[in-house]
Each structure stands twice: as C-alpha cells, then as structure tokens.
Chains A and B, each alone.
Chain A
C-alpha cells in the first residue's frame, strides 16, 4: 500500500455519516437569503386574498355587505359563507373529528374569526376592500373561563351541534362539552388512594400559548381550468395529508392535486392543520381562474391559527410515608376554543396525555379528560412536543415536586426512589404504554454530579437563612425535571390521521456515478433533514453524505408520508430511510458478488463497499457498484439501483432527560435571573451532535419563553390582549439564558438505527424545570404551587401573597 491509500478513519470521515457534526447543508442558502419560501412565489396574474375578521368573541352575524368593497379599484370578489355554500365548503372537517366554519356562518365564535375573504389584484387593494365590507353583528355573551363552560346557564356556543349529544369521541354531557376520555383502572386507583399514607392534590394550569413560528401560515393556490388541476404551495408540515384532505372535501381527484411545501420558516405544530385561508384561496382560484396568494400577518397568526396547551390538570398522587408512589389520579379540563381542531392522531382526543405517569413506576393510575368549547380560537396543537406530552410532563413533574415538599424529601431523591429501573424495560405503564428503553438513574446521577446538586442545595439553605435574617431580598430556586417523552407516532395499530396509518417513507435512487437522491415523506421546517437524512444513508451504504441529495415536500415526487411534527421524523421517516438504504445495500451486495465472482455470503461490509472475507484486497466500492448496476447486473436481475420503504413502526420511542434550572428571584420586583441551566438528553443513537445541540437550544428557549411569560390571554370580553410581539413574550438573545447540554445514549431496541428523536424533548422537559425552579424558590415561604407563566409581576404578586412585604 502506498501513502495515498486512505486509512479506515479517513474513509469513514469522508462519508460524514452518523455521529458526525456535519454542517447544515441548507444553511448555505438560508444564510444568504436564497431560501425559497411561499411568499417568495410570484405567479403571473396572481391575486391576493385577505380576511375580514370578527371584532367580537361571540356574536350573531346579521348581514355582510360587500358592495362598497367591490367598488375599490382592484377588488374582484368578496367571498362569504354563502358563496362557499354553493361549493359545499362553508364548513370543513377538523383533524379531531369536529367541523369548523371556514367563514362565519350565521355567527362568530372567537375574536378575529374569519368572516369574509376579499380577493384583489394586490395586497393593498385587498386591505382597502376589507375596510369597506360592512358586517352587522349582534353581540352575544362570551365564554372565556373553561371552568364555566359546563355551567347550566352557560351560553350555547355551537348551535350547529344542537341535539347531537354524541361527538367523534363518544357522549357529550353538555352543550359546550366535546368529549370525555378516560384511561386506567379507576377502582384500583381509588383503592390506592384510600390506603395511602400521604396524598397530594393540586390544580395545575398549563396556560394557553402559541407556537408562533417566524414565518406565518400562508399559501398560493392555482387552479388550471383546462387540466382540472389544483396546485397548492403552502407552509404545510404534512403536505400529503393536506392533499388527501383537499381531495376529500373539494372532490378533486387526488392525482390532480399538487401540494408543494417549499422552504418553511418554522412550524412547531402551528402548520399541521388546515386553515380557512387555504380553503378560501383555493375556492378563489377556482372562481377567478387565477392564482391566489394568502399570507397571514403576525396578529392573525397569534390570534386565529392554532394555539397550544390550555390544559387545567387536577393532579393527585398517593404515596407511602417513605416516598414510594402508589397511585396517580388526574382530571384534565381541556379548553379547545370554538371548534375542536386539535391536531392529534384520530383516536386520541387528548393526544398521548396518558404518558402522564412519566418516568415513575406507578402501580396504578387513572386519567380523565373533559374537552370543552369556549369563545376562543380553535387549535390545541403540539407546540414543539408530541401530542399533549408537554402538558403531561408538566403535570407529573410539578406533582412530584409538590409530593416531595409534603413528604419533606428532596425532589431529586424522591425521583430516584421512584424511577422505572433499567432492568424493567420494556416497561408497561399503568396507562397503557410500552416504554422501549431507558436508564433513568444513570442520567439523573450524571446531572446531579455535574452541577454539584448537593452544593447547590447547601447554598440555597444559606441563602434562605440570610433572607430570613433580612440580609438579602433574593431567593434561590432549583428546578429539577426528569421527563420521559413519547414520540414517533406511530404504529398503525394505534395511530392514524383521518384513517391513514402514521407510517413514513423514503425512496432512494442511486445514479450510475455513485451519487443519488433520496425523497422522504417528512418535511423539514428548519430541523435540518437535508443534512441528517444524508448522514443516515452515508453510513448505511457507504456513499458520502455530500453525494446524496435530499428532497421533501413535493407530493408529486415524494413518497406518501405523514409529515414532520411530534418528533416523528427520526423515529419513523429516519427508520424508513435506513430500511430503504438497506434494500439498496442488499442489491449492491448481489451485484458485488457477481462482479467479484464469489458467493454473496463470502462478502463483508467495509465502510464504503464490500470485500471478500479473508481477502481484503479483493473488494468493490459502493461507487463502483452503482456504475455496475447500470451495465452489468447478474443475469435475471433488473438493472438500476433504487429502493422504496414504507415504515410502520412497531412501537413509539421514549426519549428522556434530566434537566435542572438554577434561578434567583428578586422579591421586590419579581425579576428573575437564570443562573444556570443544564440539560442532559438521551435520544438514543445520535445522528448529528451539532444539530441535536441546536435543537436543544431552540427547544429550551421556547420552554423558557412559555414558563416565564409567553401566553395567549383573553380579557373578560373575549379580546386577545397578547396579540402581537409587543405583549406576547418572544425572548431575544439578550433575555435567553446560557444553555449547557449533555447526553447519555440508550438506543431504542426496535428502531433500525436505535434513534429516538430529540427536537421536542427540551420543550417537554424545560417548562417544568423553570416552573419548579420558581416554585422551589418560594416553597420555604409556605407556598405549594404558583401557576405559570412566571413573569415579573406574577412573581412579585406571589411574594406579596406570601407576606414578604408585611
């Protein structure tokens, strides 16, 4: 061998495969302003649509008059529910089995609800037109407090449901009731509480907030009357699902619908559902024969498209006096707004909230969820989390801290005492899940050692004493959070969307020169799929990641997939990619055996090709095999080197992590300072450590925002009071704390490459860490629970209520 022969390490490095901190290939265009987003699209003759929206939270719409608007130069049409009724589209189905008004049909049910759609030759004319549409309203009483939704005299919101006392998820108890969902063994759980030495009960509210991606929701619809084809470019996290939904509701054959998601500027769940803007733009294009663009502004995005959370969780834990948990009972009051437009797998009205037993070995548990209507915007999406998992993690992680306080135990010690043990996996939880793998004790102890947990508790004790002596006005809190996520929806046995199983897919085509393209059913909104998907293929088939192009988002070319949300891309699409790559590799092995004149079984894989066992100099690189696939395949074999895989996961994956937040709070102003935040994540096999770190930073920043101030709040009249970035807390780099990241690796046993998904873990685990820190800081003053968000004035109010200013 001469000096030019690359070493094994050099060959491996050249691939930039799994485990490599490969730089994000998409950033080359994003950092140079060369991304291609929906609003960049300009088609010849394109029109613009915009909405007349309701100023009222609840009102009867007595009349809509567009005559004056039509006189505005450039305004071509004013579309109302009456117009949509002619094509049977005044209402649309939601992902949760409910129906939703596309445009106000007789009444409005939340502020900024879509009332009419004005179509014009440009954005300015459309807005001028909106201001000329005259809508006559008769105000009706708003319903803001979900706890009053099922009062006897509560206003009737959904007149369309009159007499229908059964919904998509069973019986309805009241005219504003949507569903009741129960899981677990009630009798066993009741018995556990009867026998318990210690119990806690607390109502934990997780306030309404919003994913607020940088790019708002938008689309361009173009109907070709000659071909009868509808093209839709949109900010869709799940483009194939949108295509199927359009086919079902617009009665256009599915092959004549082309849905394209170009670059997307963040989704976080906000871009999963279907919105009135999409329907109206499509109808407007069909009516006018021209392309129609609809682009939401920030206020519209925050106030009308899908919110997140709004779960009010009455949480009870039973335990022995030694601190062993014996039962969990949770009742959730879920505020869904005016329509149930939750984006959950169809059979799961409260998502996977039954992961609420968390990381702990609860012998029994019982959960019930009541969904109710209020006069607020619809939604209930998974804002950077799997379905309702952030709510569940908050519920159990606050609950464990409250229990620790009651027992007089350290919260970390209580957790260590109750963790599911490594040898118990696969673990069957009391509420029906099979956890795939975990090593909670190792992760927790690593966190505690790294931050010197004992030292921090000692410092806190000293600070508390100093506070009581009047020497400081600062209090200190330690927020421990140990979360278990459930991601990768999901197995066809329990997950579907509108009847379509939640598999995902990949198609790989290797070209003769050893480069190739992979098309995937997922859709990146910033996650970096173009980088990481190629890394999986690189490791699997020995072709450098740089030689693999990744394409997503075009429903005409990509295989059918269920899209990207709920940390499902790596668990499901990532598995499909590995499986498709393995099909390529299997065929490549046959070709190599033929070319090397040996039996297939005599070959072994060696980084970037096959070699003959025992004769390492006799080998064939994958690159050469690609060439051979197009000119000298074995007799009887089809030429070419392509593969498709549709992957139906056998189980969910269960990432976990140990987080801690160290915080000081000035009681005089309520101003907090995050002194330290340490996040240990275990997402199984790590594909790209740099991207994981970026994901954790982003998710923690969102968690920080949510816990410390980000909310969608309504006043008593149903007006949104946090409808712009002036009041909706969107932290900048200045407010954002420094993040320390760490990891352990416990691969998923059922996933082809052992990966579990990570994008949402930091939001799931981060929120309870912040909230526990605030609550821990105040606990020595006699407080049990302070509701989020923990913004300055509420911290001050908490201090005041605890008598700090007496």
Chain B
C-alpha cells in the first residue's frame, strides 16, 4: 500500500497543465481529488511517473449559470456542489446523487471532474450526466472541444480524452421547471459502488409522461442511457405494465459483471427494479 516514486507538478493555469500533460506524455496523470488514482497508485496498479496536481488552477473551480446551462468547473468538489444554491434550485438531482457519494470526508476532496473523467463504471455522476444531456469541455495542446457525455465513454476507464487532454468543465442544460427526478441506488453500504442504480429525469403533462431520460450506473462497462426504456414510458401514466415493460427494455441493454455484489442475474434483476422505482418516484415529484 505504498506508491512508487513519482514527480509532482502544480501548475497555476489550464494552459500550463495542458502543456505539462502533453510534454510529459503517457507517464503523466492529472491529479484531482485522488480518490481513484491514489488507491491505484498505492496498490501499484497505476505507476505514473508524473502527477500534475490541478488544485492550483483557479480557473477549474466554480459553478455558474450561462444561459440555459449550468457550467461546473472540473475541480468543483462534491461538497461544493452540495453547498451551491444554484445547483439545488436548477439541478436538484445532482444534490441527491452527491449525497450518495461516500461520506463528508470524501466529498470535501472528491471532484466532479475526476468523477466523470475517469471512466470508472462504478461512479454515479457519468450516468446522470448522460441523463441530463451534459457535455464536457476538453482542452488540449491543439485547443478546446466539447464532447457530449453520451459520446464520451468508450469502455471501462476508456474515454474520448486524447493523450494530453484535460476535462476542464461540464455544461449541464437546466431541465424544465417542475421536472421530476430520482436516483435509485442499491448498494451494500455507505461508500460502496452501486450494485445497480438508475437515474430518471422526466416531465409530466396531464398525468402522462411527456419527456423522459433514464441513465444506468455500474450495469455495464460504461454508463448507459436506456433510450428504449425511456421511449416505452412516454405518453403513459406509468401503470404497472408500463413500468415492467420499461424495466425489461432497460435490462436488455445491461451487461454487468459478477462480483461480490452479486451474480449477473441478480444485478440485472435489481437494475430493472431500480428503473421502476426511479420512474415512480420521479413521476411523484414532478409538478
């Protein structure tokens, strides 16, 4: 549980950080909250020669409103998300999920950028970002580009980030007022990754579902957007048969691994239940 040797860098600007990452090449890793990277280094499963600590980059902090979107700096901590009234009013589901991430000590340190950029299928934020239609700003030596969260995840720990690129901010479109939301996460204990989890954001009109998006956490190598399941509930009042149909559609795209949380069969089964429960709870809180 002792990491190998590495050099430590602490740039003050995004430009310097990007420069360091591109010049040091594949042996360099950006360091945000460190909750994924540092344990891997302690097990020597990750052995970067250079750590580029982003805590000195002021431009990566902050939460602001830009038109109809909320822009969150990559180095905003889970605690800062929870402390933000803007998030609480516009993206209440983000508060719900941030509160499910481990414990206060972890949330003081863990960042949203690290959470979404690492490509860890167990992290809760990526599926939510897909559900909300968020996009990520990636900055590299050749400039900046925006990539939709739905296009970002390619495999476990594999993302659209190119070598030398840094995820600098997240832009989340604000859902309509009165939208319903819920994140149902089955876990063994506080701080655990989901055995299965489902995020739902929907709007209701005349007692029927008008729009709906469903995201799934830890039920595949990447977070999933359950498009067919969401389609199945549009125009319905979420009667038991519809819920069942949506769950079946969601289960059809799940491919979790068996682990200590349970065999594949179980994780898919409860994945479907999380979808049904999230849909019902989201509809109940929609106005």
Contact = CB atoms under 8 A, between A and B. Distances in A.
A727 B260 contact: yes
A792 B189 contact: no
B1 interface: yes
A123 interface: yes
A792 B266 CA distance: 10
Given A124-B2, A131-B44, A796-B269, A734 B260 contact: no
Contacts of B103: 732
A726 interface: yes
B100 to A, nearest CB: 11
Interface string A713-731: 1000000011000110111
Given A669-B273, A721-B260, A732-B191, A792 B186 contact: yes
A128 interface: yes
B262 A668 contact: no
Given A131-B44, A297-B1, A793 B261 contact: yes
B48 to A, nearest CB: 15
Interface in B167-200: 186, 188-192, 195
Contacts of B270: 668-669, 796
A726 B192 contact: yes
Interface residues of B, number: 22
A734 B186 CA distance: 14
A721 B262 CA distance: 12
A127 interface: yes
Nearest to A728: B260
A299 interface: yes
Mostly, the B contact residues are: loop
Interface residues on A, range: 20 to 34
A722 B192 CA distance: 14
Contacts of B263: 793
A721 B260 CA distance: 8
Nearest to A725: B191
Interface string A727-751: 1011110110000000000000000
Interface in A528-578: none
B4 interface: yes
Interface in A14-46: none
A39 to B, nearest CB: 13
Most buried by A among B4, B186, B189, B195: B189
A669 B2 CA distance: 38
B1 A793 contact: no
Contacts of B44: 127, 131
A252 interface: no
Contacts of B1: 297-299
Nearest to A731: B189
Interface in B233-287: 259-263, 266, 269-270, 273
B120 to A, nearest CB: 13
Contacts of A498: none
For the complex of A and B, list the 3 residue pairs with the smallest distance between their C-beta atoms, beginning with the closest: A793-B262, A127-B2, A297-B1
Given A734-B189, A796-B270, 15 more contacts: A123-B2, A127-B4, A127-B44, A128-B4, A128-B5, A131-B44, A709-B188, A713-B260, A727-B259, A731-B189, A732-B189, A734-B190, A793-B262, A796-B262, A797-B266
18 contacts: A126-B2, A127-B2, A127-B4, A127-B44, A128-B4, A297-B1, A298-B1, A299-B1, A709-B188, A721-B260, A722-B260, A730-B189, A732-B103, A734-B189, A792-B186, A792-B262, A793-B261, A796-B270
